[in-house]
Amino acid sequence: MAIAPTNPVSSLVQSLGEIPPDAVVFGRSSVMQAVRERLDKVAGANVPVLIQGESGTGKDIIARMIHSFSPWKSGPYVKVNCPAIPGTLLESELFGYEKGAFTGAYGMKPGRVEMAHRGTLFLDEISELDLALQSKLLQLLQDGQFCRIGAQEDKKVEVRIVCATNRVLETEIENGTFRQDLFYRINVVNLRLPALRERRGDIEDLAQYFLEYYNRKYNCRARALSSDLMAILQKYHWPGNIRELENLIKRYVILGNEDVITTDLVSREQEYFNPEINLDGPISLKKLTRQAVRELERKVILKVLQANHWNRKQAARALSISYRALLYKIRDAGLPANGSSRRRAEPMPNQGAAAD
C-alpha cells in the first residue's frame, strides 16, 4: 500500500508546546544550522551563554532550548525581563531581601537568582542593568555567591546564566554603560541569531507553522497562503522579524482574509529602502543604483495602481507602458495581482469566540 508523503511541519505541529519543533526553530538556512550545532555543543556545559540578535528573532526560545537540552532541565527555568522591572525594584527582584531591609519589607523574600538554584537564570536584555547591579551580577558569575538586600552574609547558589540582548555590547562598553569585565564573563559562548531577512528560505515553513498552530488554537480553518502572498512575504524586509510574521499570520487566521496582510505589508514597504551592502568586499555602485531604481519603480507602480483602484489597464495607460509589461512588473516587484480578489478563508466556526 502506498504511503502518502507527509508535510514535516504538519507532522510536527501535532505536538504543539511551549517550544516549537526543532525543524521550525532552525529551519533550513545554513546560518541557523550553525546556531543549532553550537547550541548542541554548549547546552551540556555549565558556562554562561550570550544570545544576541534583533528583537523578535527568537532569543527567548533559544534560551529555553538551552535549558531543556541541559543536564539541569529538571531544575527551574527563571526568566527576568530586565527592561520590564523598574531599576529601583530590579535589585530586590534579582537578589531578594531580608525582613526590615527597607520600608515595606515586612518579611523575607527570595530573589530570582535564588529561585533558579540548580536550574537556569535567563536575563533578557541584560544591557538594561545599571552599573551597580552589573557589579553584583559579576560577583555571582565569579564565585556563585550573592547577598540579599539587608543581609549580613552571602548565599551560594548553583545556577546556569543565559543572557540576551538586542544591542551591541561592545558599543555599550565604549559608552560607559556596560562593564567590560562583565561582558567577558557572560560572553563565554556567543550565539548570534540572524534577522528573518537573512533567512528568507525559512519564511514559508514558519508561515505554515503559525497558520496551522493558530488554526488549531482558535478552532479556525484558514486556507493555505496563496503564491502571490507568499511572494510578498519573501520580499518584505521584516523589521519585527519572526514575531512580526507570527502576529501577521495570527491576524489572517482570525479575520480570514489575505487583504489584512497584503494591504498592511505593501503600505509599510512604500517608504522603505535599505540596500544590502557588504562592507567586507567590493561595493558595486551600479548594482546599488539598479536596486534603488527598481524600488522607486515599485513605489510608483503601487501608487498608480491604488489611484486607479487596481484597474491594471488604466494603470498601464497612466504609466505609458503595455498591459503585459505592467503585469510582468507587478509580479517582479512582488505586488499583489489586484487589491481585492485575494483568496479568502473558509467560514470559521464560532468566529466570535475565536477572536476573544
Angstrom distance (rounded) from CA 249 to CA 254: 9
**Residue among 83, 87, 187 nearest 125 (CA):** 83
Q: Consecutive 10-residue runs of the chain (356 residues): their mean pLDDT? A: 40 50 91 95 95 95 96 95 89 90 84 96 95 94 92 93 95 93 96 94 95 94 90 88 94 87 70 54 67 75 79 86 85 67 39 38
Q: What is the per-residue pLDDT for 341?
A: 39
What's the grid cell of residue 7?
Answer: 508535510
Angstrom distance (rounded) from CA 281 to CA 33: 24
Q: What is the per-residue pLDDT for 162?
A: 98
CATH architecture under which domain 197-333 falls: Orthogonal Bundle (1.10)
**Residue among 121, 120, 118, 89 nearest 105 (CA):** 89
**Contact between residue 169 and residue 183 where contact means Cβ atoms under 8 Å apart:** yes
pTM here?
Answer: 0.72
Rounded to the nearest 5°, which phi and psi values hold at 161?
A: -105, 125
Q: What is the per-residue pLDDT for 293?
A: 72
Return the CATH fold of 30-193.
Rossmann fold (3.40.50)
What's the grid cell of residue 342?
Answer: 485575494
Q: Could you check whether 30-193 and 197-333 share the same CATH topology?
A: no
**DSSP for 49-86, written as a single string:** EEEE--TTS-HHHHHHHHHHTSTTTTS-EEEEEGGGS-
What are the boundaries of each domain within the chain?
30-193, 197-333
Angstrom distance (rounded) from CA 206 to CA 43: 24
Residues 6+ apart with CB under 8 A from 2: none
Q: What is the per-residue pLDDT for 144?
A: 94
